[in-house]
Amino acid sequence: DARALANEMAHQASHDELTGLVNRREIGRRLARLLDQAKLRGGQHALCYIDLDRFKLVNDTCGHEAGDRYLCRFVATVQARLRQVDWMGRLGGDEFAVLLQDSTLEQAEAVMARVYAALAATAFEWGGRASDMICCPGVVEIHANAPDVDWLLRAADTACYVAKEEGRNRVRCYRESDQTLVRRRREFDWVAKVRLAIAERRLLLYAQRIEALDGQASLQYEVLVRLRESDGRVIEPGAFLPAVERYGQAMMVDRYVVDAVAALLAANPAHLERLELCHVNVSAQSVVDPSFLDHLGRLFDR
């Protein structure tokens, strides 16, 4: 009984409860093992990143039970096109990973094209409503020169994103010679760096003075943001803010900045007494988001 319980707990820790697929943690472990084997003995495999486009729509309009059935139908359709040596995992939400054992990019692209065609021909009906299954698989090759598991997942995710950008309904393979994909991966890397910098409080605030041309003495400035790398280098906003905005993550930077400015002013009442004007730039994404405006209102109230 103890052994059975231990096995059940181990299975729950490594598998997704709804679909029965391996979860993100187990996906990482398996990919790390395959990458180590490729570095030791050679060989190549293909990692496919699949983002299911219509899941959120089904979930929001038909309810969570419909969303769960939709995901399970999707998983069953994909698994029916895989070999026994291949496996599928759920990264979270509507994001999935498929591992094609001993496959080249070209072979994986052909498999994903068949998967896509099967999904496109599958209609999901619930409560009198029908929804199709559309996805844009991104594929990356696992070989001895791949840096690590995080790189593999980001590269496959980047290929998936570019497939969507190019009009969906297609499979995109990650190749280092493809400058569009390389540029997008760098942008993904910047988003990850900014998230980490916020967590480690490495976004720095600078104040640029605003001086009156008529010489009137007053304290006015604009608040600017910089990112300090873990090695101490200070990065200008032009390097990371465009990527953050492209992927809809600008609000995390805006919240950090306005919170930090408010905390600094509150902690320095003598400075605040002298301050006539303080400009803080925020993105259009934040301006139109009700949750950001509510946060700003509560911040001013405090």
Please count the other Cβ atoms lying within 10 Å of the Cβ belonging to residue 255: 18
103 vs 44: CA distance, rounded Å? 6
In contact, 32 and 99? CB cutoff 8 Å: no
92 vs 178: CA distance, rounded Å? 28
Among residues 177, 169, 180, 45, which one has the least CA distance to residue 119? Answer: 169
Q: Residue 49: beta bridge partners?
A: 97, 138
Consecutive H or E run containing 284: helix 284-287
In contact, 273 and 263? CB cutoff 8 Å: no
Q: What is the DSSP letter of 232?
A: S
Q: What is the DSSP letter of 99?
A: E
Q: Which residues contact 5 (CB under 8 A, 6 or more apart)?
A: none
Residues 142-162 as b/e (b if ≥16 CB within 10 A, e otherwise) read: bbeebeebeebbbbbbbbbbb
Phi then psi for residue 146, to 5 deg, are -70, 130
26 vs 14: CA distance, rounded Å? 5
**CA distance to 42, 140, 156, per residue, from 83 (Å):** 21, 18, 20
Told to judge if 94 belongs to the known catalytic residues of this protein, a careful annotator would answer yes
Amino acid identity of residue 80, one-letter, is A
List the catalytic residue out of 51, 94, 157, 254: 94
60 vs 67: CA distance, rounded Å? 8
State the catalytic residues: 94
